[in-house]
């Protein structure tokens, strides 16, 4: 940005790309501050010291010498800047052009509606180099105008990586000249809503046919988008899924699967050399469009079932000395990593690329918690942390009954803000290999731009501060104050953030512990709980802790073996009982269902049980998140309480949080 452009920026308090609809922070952020000077900047700078008074930007056109900006080589950290506002001058120094740009974002956020800028000194630099956001454009296609709008918001938040999930079963979204069927056929599905298609025929359609829904980006559109992002110091990282999540490719080019039969496989066949020709050809065209150092190859959730019996896969394993299909997947990832390295690029993949051995030089994007990332950095490689627990924005951010349908889960703003990417267990050298953090919006249940923005904001505000601001400077109450104002600003600028001001909060039952006759009593399990959803272990069902809006909050205990829960509680003495109750939840997206049958019984000797209640329930797959109690009320005597529940026709999990005995 030349000096003239910068002066115009300071005069108008708008980004030069305001035609994209993001004339943000135009007087909203500080207009209500009165005489008290507070920072409304998001993300919070590393060091802020306010003085007294203001610089008046109004007459700047006649006094342009009062503004100065320049590069300063003494600022060694990339993207860093220093901003000094006095009553008669504004000076912005930065280590590089990105630092100048981010200093300008901060200056804009400091400016009041009347054009005054508070006297302040700021020294600022990002905590992490990778400050990312992923947009899933496969499950629902979003045009480049929508993406530019989000790029504008990312620039204000000092985010610098836009990861595009361009390919998946629901649609291929990038023009590839060598394989035209990818956009003629694989980019179009029969059905506008992902869930209708996924739980229906899962068929694709010819471009232009009446039933076709989807779309793709031309190479020219993507090049223009890359340039647009680069002007805002954002790198677009493309993702081409392999070897799994590739149903759309294998419907268009079935010869790349193990059997050659369309609509049968999700995984490429690594036993066929044609597979590597295809993948390398595609990546060559991708690299022509995207200058990003990193190319994301997916690598997650590969079933690999066909590989175990495929003659070509077995022959490949024999030739390469591979012991199992995990090592066969690693072989594929290694080859793609070598190919990218030959072209000066680096491979990036989800943490499943660790299975079978991590390819040298590969960077792990850890989504199944942070353990995969920690494993990578301890092995000398780099990692980006994006755990589903804190960074998956396809989840509910408030009470599910108040929001549109989501994948499930519960990720409120406060939990995003609480994410700490670097555990104390890492050495300094290992911690330095954590490149940064990233938020992800998967769009299976996000079919409109308005819904997408509600899922993104304000949670991306929180992630931006996790990515930029040192952990010791973070303050939830102060951030919440700033986030409320920034929501207003985004809404005024044409965005659709979640209504943070009227947040309902967690499930009321989860807000306080309870006591009852079974509190702390021993629970015997006739069938084990699922280890991944153990909650509090053997004592979870009598610990007095009720679950919140999601089964993943560490309080709901999950059962999937034969779809049954079967436990007995020892009350330690015969008691007179008046009620026995347990809550269950249903969220169909992740296959969590209410039980089809519940049996409640009691015994005095743990051998002969009297049945108190039998509940039968018709399990219906729907879009609602449900919480329902299954209880007995009456009068009975017993020492042992047995509670049984089984799943219905859909199988899946049953979850309960506490068996309450009174």
Three-state SS at 379: coil
Percent with pLDDT over 70 in the chain: 93
Residue of 66, 140, 163, 245 with catalytic role: 245
Instruction: Identify the domain containing residue 13 by its residue range.
Output: 3-124
Closest CA to 550 of 357, 657, 421, 409: 409
pLDDT at position 9 is 38
Q: State the pLDDT confidence band at 536, using cuts at 50, 70 and 90.
A: very high
Answer with the residue of higher pLDDT: 3 or 216. 216
Q: What is the DSSP string of 213-273?
A: EE--B-HHHHHHHHHHHHHTT-EEEEEEEESSS-HHHHHH-GGGSSS--TTS-SS--TT-H
Q: State the pLDDT confidence band at 125, using cuts at 50, 70 and 90.
A: very high
Is the confidence at residue 113, as pLDDT, over 80? yes
Domain shared by 245 and 201, yes or no? yes
Domain shared by 405 and 552, yes or no? no
Domain shared by 153 and 230, yes or no? yes
Q: What's the whole-number average pLDDT of the chain?
A: 93
Could you tell me the two tokens for 299?
Answer: 């690598």
Q: State the pLDDT confidence band at 366, using cuts at 50, 70 and 90.
A: very high
Is the confidence at residue 76, as pLDDT, over 60? yes
Mean pLDDT of 639-660: 96
Instruction: Pick the range with the lowest mean pLDDT from 46-60, 457-471, 539-553, 625-639.
Output: 46-60
Is the confidence at residue 216, as pLDDT, over 80? yes
pLDDT at position 25 is 41
pLDDT at position 127 is 98
**Which residue in the block uniquely carries the two structure tokens 């709008």?**
149
Domain shared by 26 and 112, yes or no? yes
Beta bridge partners of 161: 132, 235
What residues contact 512, with CB distance under 8 A and at least 6 apart?
Answer: none
Is the confidence at residue 629, as pLDDT, over 60? yes
Taking the C-alpha atoms of residue 448 and residue 600, their distance in angstroms, rounded to an integer, is 45
Residue of 114, 293, 301, 371 with catalytic role: 301
Q: Could you say which of 106, 124, 142 is where a domain stops?
A: 124
Domain shared by 171 and 292, yes or no? yes
pLDDT at position 419 is 98
Domain shared by 309 and 443, yes or no? yes
Q: State the pLDDT confidence band at 11, using cuts at 50, 70 and 90.
A: very low
Look up the pTM and report it: 0.92
Tens-place pLDDT, residues 253-303: 999 999 999 999 999 999 999 999 999 999 999 999 999 999 999 999 999
Give yes or no: 607 in active site: no
Query: How many structural domains does the chain have?
Result: 3
Is the confidence at residue 4, as pLDDT, over 50? no
CATH of the domain at 83: 3.30.379.10
Could you tell me the two tokens for 131?
Answer: 């400050």
Q: Could you say which of 87, 107, 124 is where a domain stops?
A: 124
| Residue 134 contacts residue 438 (beta carbons within 8 Å) | yes
CATH of the domain at 261: 3.20.20.80
Could you tell me the two tokens for 607?
Answer: 């051998």
Tens-place pLDDT, residues 14-70: 333 333 344 344 344 444 444 567 889 999 999 999 999 999 886 544 445 677 788
Residue of 168, 239, 465, 583 with catalytic role: 168
pLDDT at position 450 is 98
Beta bridge partners of 120: 50, 85
Tens-place pLDDT, residues 479-501: 999 999 999 999 999 999 999 99
Domain shared by 178 and 234, yes or no? yes
Domain shared by 597 and 632, yes or no? yes
Give yes or no: 245 in active site: yes
H and E: helices and strands count for the chain: 17, 26
Is the confidence at residue 473, as pLDDT, over 80? yes
Domain shared by 644 and 551, yes or no? yes
Q: Could you say which of 100, 124, 148 is where a domain stops?
A: 124
| Residue 212 contacts residue 220 (beta carbons within 8 Å) | no
Percent with pLDDT over 90 in the chain: 89
**Beta pairing class for 564-586 and 212-214:** unpaired
Domain shared by 233 and 324, yes or no? yes
Domain shared by 358 and 415, yes or no? yes
Is the confidence at residue 561, as pLDDT, over 90? no
DSSP conformational letter for 545: P
Cα distances (Å, whole numbers) of residue 50 to 36, 38, 58, 122: 10, 8, 21, 9
User: What is the rounded (10 degree) CA torsion for 142, 147, 226, 346?
Assistant: -80
pLDDT at position 17 is 34
| Residue 82 contacts residue 92 (beta carbons within 8 Å) | yes
Could you tell me the two tokens for 274?
Answer: 């044609």
Give yes or no: 168 in active site: yes
Is the confidence at residue 502, as pLDDT, over 50? yes
pLDDT at position 10 is 38
| Residue 95 contacts residue 72 (beta carbons within 8 Å) | yes
Residues in the chain, overall count:
662
Domain shared by 117 and 178, yes or no? no
């Amino acid at each position: 940005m030349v000096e003239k452009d910068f002066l115009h920026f300071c005069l108008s308090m708008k980004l030069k790309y305001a035609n994209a609809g993001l004339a943000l922070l135009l007087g909203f952020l500080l207009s209500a501050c009165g005489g008290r000077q507070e920072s409304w900047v998001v993300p919070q700078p590393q060091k802020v010291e306010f003085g007294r008074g203001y610089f008046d930007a109004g007459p700047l056109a006649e006094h342009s010498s009062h503004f100065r900006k320049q590069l300063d080589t003494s600022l060694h950290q990339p993207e860093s800047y220093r901003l000094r506002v006095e009553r008669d001058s504004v000076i912005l120094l930065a280590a590089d052009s990105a630092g100048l740009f981010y200093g300008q974002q901060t200056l804009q956020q400091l400016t009041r509606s009347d054009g005054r800028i508070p006297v302040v000194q700021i020294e600022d630099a990002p905590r992490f180099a990778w400050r990312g956001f992923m947009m899933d454009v496969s499950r629902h296609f979003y045009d480049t105008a929508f993406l530019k709008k989000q790029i504008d918001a990312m620039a204000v938040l000092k985010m610098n990586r836009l990861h595009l999930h361009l390919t998946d079963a629901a649609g291929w979204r990038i023009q590839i000249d060598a394989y035209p069927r990818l956009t003629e056929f694989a980019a179009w599905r029969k059905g506008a809503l992902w869930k209708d298609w996924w739980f229906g025929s899962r068929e694709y359609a010819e471009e232009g046919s009446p039933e076709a829904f989807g779309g793709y980006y031309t190479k020219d559109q993507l090049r223009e988008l890359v340039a647009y992002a680069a002007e805002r110091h954002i790198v677009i990282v493309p993702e081409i899924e392999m070897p799994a999540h590739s149903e759309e490719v294998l419907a268009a080019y079935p010869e790349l699967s193990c059997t050659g039969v369309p609509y049968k496989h999700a995984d490429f066949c690594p036993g066929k050399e044609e597979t590597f020709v295809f993948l390398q050809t595609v990546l060559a065209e991708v690299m022509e469009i995207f200058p990003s150092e990193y190319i994301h190859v997916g690598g997650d959730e590969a079933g690999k079932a066909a590989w175990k019996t495929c003659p070509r896969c077995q022959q490949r394993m024999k030739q390469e000395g591979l012991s199992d299909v995990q090592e066969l997947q690693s072989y594929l990832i290694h080859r793609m990593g070598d190919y990218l390295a030959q072209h000066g690029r680096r491979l990036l993949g989800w943490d499943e690329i660790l299975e079978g051995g991590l390819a040298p030089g590969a960077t792990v994007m850890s989504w199944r918690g942070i353990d995969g990332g920690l494993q990578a950095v301890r092995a000398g490689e780099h990692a980006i942390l994006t755990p589903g627990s804190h960074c998956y924005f396809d989840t509910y951010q408030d009470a599910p009954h108040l929001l549109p349908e989501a994948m499930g889960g519960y990720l409120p703003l406060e939990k995003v803000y609480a994410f700490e990417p670097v555990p104390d267990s890492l050495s300094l050298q290992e911690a330095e290999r954590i490149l940064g953090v990233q938020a992800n919006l998967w769009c299976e249940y996000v079919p409109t731009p308005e819904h997408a923005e509600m899922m993104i904001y304000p949670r991306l505000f929180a992630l931006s501060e996790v990515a930029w601001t040192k952990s010791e400077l973070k303050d939830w109450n102060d951030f919440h104050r700033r986030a409320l104002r920034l929501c207003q600003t985004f809404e005024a600028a044409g965005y659709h953030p979640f209504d943070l001001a009227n947040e309902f909060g967690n499930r009321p039952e989860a807000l306080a512990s309870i006591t009852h006759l079974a509190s702390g009593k021993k629970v015997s399990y006739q069938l084990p709980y699922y280890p991944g959803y153990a909650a509090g272990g053997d004592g979870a069902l009598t610990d007095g802790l009720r679950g919140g809006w999601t089964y993943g909050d560490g309080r709901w205990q999950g059962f999937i073996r034969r779809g049954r829960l079967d436990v007995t509680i020892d009350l330690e003495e015969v008691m007179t009982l008046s009620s026995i109750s347990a809550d269950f939840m249903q969220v169909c997206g992740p296959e969590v269902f209410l039980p089809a049958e519940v049996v409640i019984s009691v015994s005095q000797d743990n051998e002969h049980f009297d049945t108190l209640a039998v509940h039968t329930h018709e399990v219906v797959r729907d879009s609602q998140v449900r919480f329902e109690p299954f209880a007995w009320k009456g009068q009975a005597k017993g020492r042992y309480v047995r509670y049984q529940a089984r799943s219905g026709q859909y199988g899946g999990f049953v979850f309960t949080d506490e068996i309450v005995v009174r």
